[in-house]
């Protein structure tokens, strides 16, 4: 488990990102089997201005180590690596910068009007949001790096869900009058099917 050091940035607001793997209502265990955390994977497209976030990371690297340490683990990942390994699963990651932010405490989640989002189905992988985060340094098993702590999240816009599952309202037409269908169950028996 990554061990937080003293160098920590001020809270900052991210540019808009596409949400992936949101664990903001219920914590989940990390890949390395550590403690459960609330987390979100943020996908930033090429137009995103990440200068402020990169500036804060550079500042705390200098504060903590003076210079970039060897084998530094950057919080800014290329989505193309995941895409190339599994194009079907990680199609949305292509040509995006990927940043994961996490926290031991649950973040606040609000909509565009700053109203709390309570229903987990309303905040999903594929929607658009921005978040408040802070960068911090860590050292673990000989490695040194910077990660982002998750503070709060604001959903900005809907987007195509990454699950690919259609919404129920998109599968059916509206029906004004529902007539009872003729019951023909007695006309077909189990023996009529070759199972």
| Residue 171 maps to a domain | no
The single-letter DSSP state of residue 127 is B
| Residue 10 maps to a domain | yes
| Residue 190 maps to a domain | no
| Residue 179 maps to a domain | no
pLDDT tens, position by position, for the chain (195 residues)?
444 446 899 999 999 999 999 999 999 987 666 789 999 999 999 999 999 999 999 999 999 999 999 989 999 999 999 999 999 889 999 999 999 999 999 999 999 999 999 999 999 999 999 999 999 999 988 899 999 999 999 999 999 999 765 666 777 788 877 665 555 555 655 566 555
Distance CA 148, CA 43 (A): 14
| Residue 166 maps to a domain | no
Give me the number of domains the chain comprises. 1
Write the CA distances from 35 to 44, 120, 136, integer angstroms. Answer: 27, 22, 18
Residue 96 burial (C-beta neighbours within 10 Å; 0-12, 13-18, 19+): buried
Query: What's the CATH number where 29 sits?
Result: 2.40.50.140
| Residue 192 maps to a domain | no
| Residue 54 maps to a domain | yes
Distance CA 88, CA 124 (A): 19
| Residue 48 maps to a domain | yes
Task: Read off the pTM.
Answer: 0.80
Full residue range of the structural domain in which residue 25 is found: 3-160
CA proximity to 25, closest of 114, 118, 110: 118
How many CB atoms within 10 Å of residue 113?
A: 6
């Amino acid at each position: 488990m990554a061990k937080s050091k003293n160098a920590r940035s001020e809270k900052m607001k991210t540019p808009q990102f596409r949400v992936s793997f949101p664990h903001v209502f219920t914590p989940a265990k990390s890949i390395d089997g550590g403690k459960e955390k609330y987390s979100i994977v943020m996908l930033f497209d090429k137009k995103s201005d990440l200068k402020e976030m990169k500036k804060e990371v550079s500042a705390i690297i200098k504060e903590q180590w003076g210079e970039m340490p060897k084998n530094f683990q950057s919080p800014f990942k290329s989505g193309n690596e995941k895409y190339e390994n599994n194009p079907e699963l990680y199609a949305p990651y292509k040509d995006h910068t990927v940043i994961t932010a996490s926290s031991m405490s649950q973040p606040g989640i609000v909509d565009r009007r700053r109203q709390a989002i309570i229903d987990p189905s309303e905040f999903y992988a594929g929607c658009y949001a921005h978040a408040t985060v802070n960068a911090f340094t860590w050292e673990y098993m000989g490695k040194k790096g910077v990660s982002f702590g998750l503070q709060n999240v604001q959903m900005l816009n809907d987007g195509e869900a990454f699950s690919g599952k259609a919404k129920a309202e998109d599968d059916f037409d509206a029906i004004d009058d529902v007539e009872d269908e003729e019951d023909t169950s007695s006309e077909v028996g189990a023996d009529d099917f070759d199972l």
